[in-house]
Structure 1
Amino acid sequence: MEKAVAEVKVSSIFIYPVKSCRGISVSQAPVTPTGFRWDRQWLVVNYKGRAYTQRVEPKLALVEVQLPNEAFVENWEPAESSYLVLKAPGMDVLKVSLSTPKEIADGVSVWEWSGAALDEGADASKWFSDYLGKPCRLVRFNAASETRPVEPEYAPGHQTMFSDMYPYMLLSQESLDALNELLKEPIPINRFRPNILVNGCEPFSEDLWTEIRIDKLTFQGVKLCSRCKVPTIDQKTGIAGPEPNDTLKKIRSDAVLRPTKKQQGRVYFGQNLVCRDSLTGGGGKGHVIKVGDLVYVLKMVSSAEEAAA
């Protein structure tokens, strides 16, 4: 049964090319099995190859990221003059070629995953090392040789690049508005780093969506998104405070939402997604989501208690 819930639409699309650095708001984005194209394709690592994130290095929140506008057009391929451009306070501009690097960095790790990545070279390494004040390298996911599976018990066969858990994360504007009504200081959506922001639904209704269609593409709602400390970091200053997590603990903890389930001390805000469609063949046509696309809810559960988490 297909129903458009009122008129739910995609209101914003965000891509985070470098994990834990600033996102880019775009009007459309090509969909791939591992997430939107360019999303979390780069990662800053320490001298041991371990991922740096805002949890440990909140200054990453101040790194601005730019890609060519045409990078979000279907089937676009970089030219030799195409760059990822990075800016940060007190730093010269860094330009990283979008051509595939030749160097390999072994022993790169993100959470439980480790593998080889592409090393973006000495200039990028020096830039991040100078900025964070400790040895760093900038690496790119090597999709030609590596795969990073998501949790097999939730979405077997699916994979992602350097995002925390899943290829896509969706939130509704109404959920953010409901949270902001409870906060002394309202916070912007960038605290939660979603890929897809929708509007036109009831607050927190995305908790219940197990299958949705956006334009021609079908997405599975895999599990509620449990939140870490990153939402407490002001993305303009890199300074952490107690909110919104203190308030989320009161209204969005597993004790509140899922009282009969095993308690894990988590708070939830948003829904993790995978794309159900085969994205191969057909020249990749139509595999784009645009701001303004309608969202159709195909399957849903009746309460957050029934949702996977």
Structure 2
Amino acid sequence: MDKLFSLFSTSTGRSSSAPAATVTSIFIYPIKSCRGISVPQAPITSTGFRWDRQWMVVNSNGRALTQRVEPKLALVEPELPPDALDVNWMPSDSSYMALESRFVDPDYAQGYTAMFSDGFPYLVISQGSLDLLNELLKEPLPINRFRPNILVDGCAPFSEDLWKVTKLNNIAFHGVKLCSRCKVPTINQESGIAGTEPTETLMKFRTDKALKREKINKAKVYFGMNFVCAESLSASTMKGKVVKIGDPIHVLQRYASHADAAA
């Protein structure tokens, strides 16, 4: 296990001017728990990427339905107009539905809002993290099991865990909480059938105890890092901001260790 940790250990403090990683994929999930859409770019809004978790499925009692209860939601594939993610596109009253937003947990980020994501506007995962996990699994899993907003490459596995402040296309993103995983990653997004992996494998090296966070020990597994966007707090600074595939990520501040990162 010590050898495993050495693969993704990261130095602390401020970084050099060289990018820490590069954005390789961007995903949005217009309807919570339904299939995601891979896009080349996504404009920033006050609640995350435009259209991300703007709608959700509810039952006859008005309660939310997610893949935790109805795995076959993974088979529902939303579509958006081809220009809906252009940075200057302005919808009319007849072309979109406005929903109430909600505040993220103030214990982790004050004043930020999200739509129907589980708690935070952005989830970042590195290709290195997925590759390392897949080396430990009998059957490799695609990234869609983990439903990130931003997939990056070029950094060591689990580097994203320690990214406290980053700049992405001159936009400030703050890593505020390790992403604790529910049963959704165990659901095959092509068939809607749940299994036991990757949770069984993650329990071996991605728990609080394994990450030397014994004082916390919430009996959860972690994969990915939740982020908020500083510019989203102000309409004036948010206007025109967009994230694109190929954008470099510069890490300005890092958490000293997993024990210091919130979860």
TM-score, length-scaled by structure 1: 0.77
Residue 35 and residue 283 in structure 1: after superposition, are their counterparts in 2 closer, same or farther (change >3 A)? closer
Give the aligned residue type for 1:245.
T
Q: Which residue of 2 aligns with 1:228?
A: 182
Please report the RMSD computed on the Cα atoms of aligned residues, expressed in angstroms: 1.7
Shift of 1:98: 3.1
Give the aligned residue type for 1:255.
K
Q: Which residue of 2 aligns with 1:291?
A: 245
Q: Which residue of 2 aligns with 1:209?
A: 163
Find the aligned partners of 1:16 and 1:50 in 2 and give their Cα distance.
Answer: 19
Q: Which residue of 2 aligns with 1:244?
A: 198
In the alignment, which of 157, 163, 170 is matched to residue 111 of structure 2?
Answer: 157
Partner secondary structure for residue 78 of structure 2: strand
Over 4 Å off, 4+ runs = 4-7
Partner secondary structure for residue 54 of structure 1: coil
Give the aligned residue type for 1:284.
K
Partner secondary structure for residue 210 of structure 1: strand
Q: Which has the larger radius of gyration?
A: 1
Q: Which residue of 2 aligns with 1:20?
A: 33
Find the aligned partners of 1:261 and 1:200 in 2 and give their Cα distance.
Answer: 32
Find the aligned partners of 2:81 and 2:204 in 1 and give their Cα distance.
Answer: 42
Deviations, residues 7-44 of structure 1 (Å, cap 9, x unaligned): 51000000000000000000000011211000000100
Find the aligned partners of 2:142 and 2:167 in 1 and give their Cα distance.
Answer: 26
Find the aligned partners of 1:257 and 1:99 in 2 and give their Cα distance.
Answer: 43
Find the aligned partners of 1:220 and 1:10 in 2 and give their Cα distance.
Answer: 16
Residue 26 and residue 279 in structure 1: after superposition, are their counterparts in 2 closer, same or farther (change >3 A)? farther
Give the aligned residue type for 1:280.
A
Q: Which residue of 2 aligns with 1:268?
A: 222
Find the aligned partners of 1:282 and 1:11 in 2 and give their Cα distance.
Answer: 25
1:62 matches 2:17: no
Q: How many residues align?
A: 249
Is the contact between residue 8 and residue 199 of structure 1 (CA under 8 Å) also seen in structure 2? yes
Name the one with the larger strand percent: 1
Give the aligned residue type for 2:255.
V
Q: Which residue of 1 aligns with 2:54?
A: 41
Give the aligned residue type for 2:118.
D
Superposition pairs for residues 1-309 of structure 1, below 5 Å? 1-4=14-17, 7-78=20-91, 98-100=95-97, 142=99, 146-277=100-231, 278-281=233-236, 284-285=239-240, 287-309=241-263
Deviations, residues 94-146 of structure 1 (Å, cap 9, x unaligned): xxx7344xxxxxxxxxxxxxxxxxxxxxxxxxxxxxxxxxxxxxxxx52xxx3
Is the contact between residue 255 and residue 261 of structure 2 (CA under 8 Å) also seen in structure 1? yes
Q: Identical aligned pairs, as a percentage?
A: 58
Is the contact between residue 227 and residue 268 of structure 1 (CA under 8 Å) also seen in structure 2? yes
Find the aligned partners of 1:251 and 1:205 in 2 and give their Cα distance.
Answer: 15
Is the contact between residue 75 and residue 284 of structure 1 (CA under 8 Å) also seen in structure 2? no
Deviations, residues 209-235 of structure 1 (Å, cap 9, x unaligned): 111110110011001000000000000
Find the aligned partners of 1:212 and 1:10 in 2 and give their Cα distance.
Answer: 13
Find the aligned partners of 2:234 and 2:170 in 1 and give their Cα distance.
Answer: 12
Query: Highest relative contact order (Cα 8 Å, sep 6+), 1 or 2?
Result: 2
TM-score, length-scaled by structure 2: 0.90
Q: Which runs of 5+ in 1 are unaligned?
A: 81-96, 101-140
Residue 259 and residue 79 in structure 1: after superposition, are their counterparts in 2 closer, same or farther (change >3 A)? closer
Bigger Cα displacement from structure 2, 298-307 vs 194-203: 298-307
Give the aligned residue type for 1:148.
R
